[in-house]
Amino acid sequence: MKILRNYFIKEFLSPLFMALGVLTFVMILGNLIKIAELVINKGVDIFSVSKLFVYMIPYLLTYTLPIATLTAVLLSLGRLSSDNEIVAIRASGVNLFSLIVPILTIGLILSLTLVIFNDRVIPFAHYGTRKTLKEVGIKNPTAALEPGVFINSFEKYILFIYKIEDNKMYNVRIYEPQGDRPTRTIIAKRGEFIAIPEKNMVKLKLIDGTSDEPDPESPAKFYKLNFKTYFITLNMAQKKEKIGKKPKDMTMVELKNEADRLKKEGIDPDPIYTEMHSKVSMAFSCFVFVLLGSSLAIITRRREKSINFGIAFLIVGIYYLLSLGGETLALEGMLAPALAMWIPNIIFAIIGTILTIRVCAS
């Protein structure tokens, strides 16, 4: 029996590491294109880009590990089933469930590890990414800007830039809301950012354009001023040196404290509770995937890697759609977060349990 258990574990661990490596590499490769663009087109320094890359890896693992776990179960037990080894084991009188238990135990260990990972490492990485992006935005403002969208990163002003190349901008529009007075507008054909990181500011040099200037005799009215060169100083919207934490940047303890604070202020804390349950429920997807995948692999009896990868992605796709649906229900107040965020795990665990009982009983 011990030899068979070790055999099952070995068959499972080998494709687990393979799938984890392949999936993580593919997802990193997809993000490397964006990172390369920051260096080549935006001129961001290598050190900042390296930090963003390091912070990105833990976040990817929260997705690749559950998918790799499901894929490994399907590949390993699918091969054993297709080669009739499962049939031989049953014929020898060995209880199949006793051989699946070690794999379920590994799935549980992975889930518990992912709970700690989601609680400690992911918030740190997420917060580190936001801080690095802010530093990049101050040192090289154009790296944090996107053409064709309204930009609210600066105090008092809203920017709309049609085209950005390196540190140059083309067809720039700047809006300054005036409250009860008409919005002031500055339009320029070209522009250039001059960063002032030590003051958390940037100076904008505009070329060939027009500016709305208040009429000295009637400040509520503007007159058009044509200019060849126009300088404007922009303050970053975040004045404080320390960036406030968002729910995704918080540990479970910090989330609990935040929920208690919101309660005292009479604010609905459900979004915080949703984040708390999301961290734990997503971690336990590893165990649920092992429970479902082990029986499904024996039933389907497929050893082809492409088919098993396809089945894995189909199951994961359904799982994440259910998760998004549960999150929406929780945020809309239609279901309690404790129930809504666990809906995918409950459904998949029930199906997995039924299939496992059926497989082991046959």
SS3 172: strand
Q: Would you state the pLDDT for residue 239?
A: 45
Cβ proximity of 78 and 303 under 8 Å: yes
SS3 153: coil
Q: Would you state the pLDDT for residue 193?
A: 77
Helices (H), 284-304: 285-300
The Cα 171–Cα 195 span in angstroms is 20
Per-residue pLDDT of the chain (362 residues; tens, 9 = 90+): 678 888 888 989 999 999 999 999 988 887 777 777 666 655 666 777 788 888 889 989 999 999 999 999 999 998 888 888 888 887 777 878 888 999 999 999 999 999 999 999 999 998 888 788 776 665 555 555 667 777 776 778 888 888 887 678 889 888 888 776 778 888 999 988 776 766 667 788 899 999 887 776 676 677 788 889 988 887 765 444 556 788 888 999 999 999 998 888 888 899 999 999 999 999 999 999 999 999 999 888 777 777 888 889 999 999 999 999 999 999 888 999 999 999 999 999 999 999 999 888 76
CB count in 10 Å sphere of residue 37: 12
Percent of residues in the chain assigned helix, strand, coil, to nearest 5? 65, 20, 15
Cβ proximity of 69 and 16 under 8 Å: yes
SS3 41: coil
User: 323: exposed, middle or buried (C-beta count within 10 Å: 0-12, 13-18, 19+)?
Assistant: buried
The partner residues of 172 in beta bridges, in order of sequence, read 161, 188
